[in-house]
Amino acid sequence: MRCTIITDKDSPKSGVYTSRRDALKAGAVIALSMVLPAGVKAEAESGKRWAMYIDVSKCYGCYACVTACAAENNVPIGVFRTWVERHVIGEGTTVFVPKQCNHCENSPCVAPCPTGATYRTKDGLVLVNDELCIGCGACIQACPYGARFFNPVKGVVDKCTFCNHRIYNGKLPACVEACPTGARVFGDLNDPSSPIANLVSKGSSQRLKTWTGAEPMIFYRDLPSEANR
Amino acid sequence: MYPYGYMYPNEYAEPIVWLPTLFAYSLLISGADLLILALLAFLFNKLRKAMPMLLTLGLAFFTVVLLGPLADLRNPDRATLLFSNAQIVPSEQHPGTSMIALMGGLMWPLGWVLALLFILLYFSYPMHLKYLATRNPLYKVLSLGVSTPERFRAIKPVMKVVAAIALVPLAFWSIYPATLFVMQTGLFAWRNWTLLPIMYFADVFVTATAAAILAAWISDRSRLQQLDVASLITIHGGGAVSVAAILVIQLWYWKNVFGTTDYYVSLAPLIRWSYVAIGLFLLTFALSLVSMRYLSLSIIIPFTGFAATVVNKWNAIIRAQEIVRSGMTYLQPTYNLSPELMVMVGIISAGVFLAIVLTSIFPLEVKNHDY
């Protein structure tokens, strides 16, 4: 929840509203900001389509992204918002494949949620409203990517949010910021001048399990078929 | 150490997400399916003598059916959100319809109210007769003012309409949660278990009739003929052989699609236990054939029928979850079953208790069915 706090400094006359209309306006702003989830407000005017591009050939399995994510989002030990798979392909070549929630265009996890706790924002983020999650596990079972889990501390289902508390403040997701080789690129797919839009538009990227029809928003380069099951 | 072929650590952390649903769904839903059997029989004018028993048992189990999923919720204190926030109508933020919300938030209340209405109508005149015999005002209320055979005859068309409408939500329930497994999960075994909903529907007739036969034996073993047990055995045997046939077709399909791949290897434990289930269903079928001739043998059938169903549904619900979503391997997680068993026994006991209460209110024998 994002809540607008009016301090003495912000208020027109040291905490005293100039007119009844101002007071009503301020009240409406406060009420709206308490009702709407933060993501919904921010995206309303943004028109973005958040996505990530992962260059598998640049990942050497340092797990900095996993650690940064856990630290940033208080992810308990044993469960993961992002993880790095290690695959040995061909004649012994080791490949590291970072994975996480794909924030799919046709998210298979959204429809099964019985209470609407899992929802899509206009910017394409797939998020969980902790207040509505009854913990039925339907979304965990529905996700073809194993990206969801029960957070034993929060007591509800948890997953990657693309660090939505950071990206609307001009920061990158923690995993992207921590990556030492720049294997992860994050940005707005709707912005033709963004690096991710350029990378994806080249057309050589792959996505995980396209046969599910989920249309994931994480694009890979050099993805081995072993990692796509 | 993750096993070979394992890709998703979150899945490894908690492979079995739904556990108490095993008994909740395999027995309670099938128990509730007695209502389907009763309503179909009413519409086609069959099983008249067994009808009161089918209705009361069915209503009892259908009433407590949601205790199964409730036991699986991590936040059961928020369970009411299933009704107040049911995700049934698609919207921009929540595209699609949740199967859980549809069944729990809409079909269950609808089916329950319609079933209750039918039962109240069905027992209206018999309750009036019971009131005349006992002068208990509760029975007068339950008679709904139907105090003459003529009035009872007059409401029969209404009962037929209610029965026909009630069959819709109850039919949805009869193939649930198979529909959820097949349509809204990403688990390998469930997504590829094409015949699971059909198998659930056929299983309705096995478990429901097993419960009814057992109830007939418990209520009055000397009146098995009067309680239409022979007809129930016929349905039971037919259901058992159908489930066995559907399982055989499914196994054949898997073999043809996956051949000797890793996928087929991961299905091996499930396939192995499917053979056990098929054997038990065929045994039930054979015993049903014998019992039609020697009615006293029918006491064995509910137990073989239940055993077949439990093995089959343990396979479909639990073992299927142990095959990872990549389809590359099979986990054998260790879980403490004893607290889960207590929950399952508690849920079943609630259904049995309610059945006892209902059978003490409504008569198990309704004479002169064609008033």
Going through A56-122 in order, the beta strands assigned E by DSSP cover 82-89, 93-100, 118-120
B371 is written with which tokens?
A: 């008033």
Range A145-150 average pLDDT: 96
Residue B14 has pLDDT above 90, yes or no: no
pLDDT digits (tens, 9 = 90+) for A206-228: 999 999 999 999 999 999 988 88
Q: Which has more pLDDT, B179 or B216?
A: B179
Q: Mean of the per-residue pLDDT values for chain B?
A: 89
Which residues of chain A are within 8 Å of residue B98 when distances are taken between CB atoms?
111-114, 138
Secondary structure of residue B256 in the 3-state scheme: helix
- How many CB atoms sit inside 10 A of residue B302's CB? 23
CB contact residues (below 8 A), chain A span 95-154, against chain B: 106, 108, 110-116, 118-122, 132-138, 140-150
Q: Cβ contact (<8 Å) for B93 and A150?
A: no
Mean of pLDDT values over B317-343 = 84
Token digits of residue B199: 């198998």
Tell me which DSSP letter residue A202 carries. T
Give the type of residue at A61.
Answer: G
- Residue B51: C-alpha distances to residues B34, B44, B122, B143, B154 (Å): 9, 12, 10, 18, 20
- The Cβ-side half-sphere exposure at B167, using a 13 Å CA radius, reads 13
| pLDDT value for B261 | 86
| Closest Cβ–Cβ partner in A78, A112, A136 for B73 | A136
Question: What's the angle, vertex CA B163, arms to CA B161 and CA B167, rounded to 5?
Answer: 120
In total, chain B counts a number of residues equal to: 371
Upper half-sphere CA count for residue B36 (Cβ side, 13 Å): 24
List the 115-154 stretch of B: residues with Cβ below 8 A of A: none
**Is the pLDDT score of A17 beyond 70?**
no
Task: For residue B96, give both structure tokens.
Answer: 């699609």
Instruction: Give me the pLDDT at residue B332, please.
Output: 78
Amino acid (one-letter) located at B109: P
Whole-angstrom distance, CA of residue B60 vs CA of residue A177: 58
ipTM of the complex: 0.89
Element (H, E) at A203: none
Is residue B331 less than 8 Å (CB to CB) from chain A? Answer: no
Instruction: Summarize pLDDT for A110-147 with one digit per residue, the tens.
Output: 999 999 999 999 999 999 999 999 999 999 999 999 99
Question: Is 0.80 surpassed by the pTM of this model?
Answer: yes
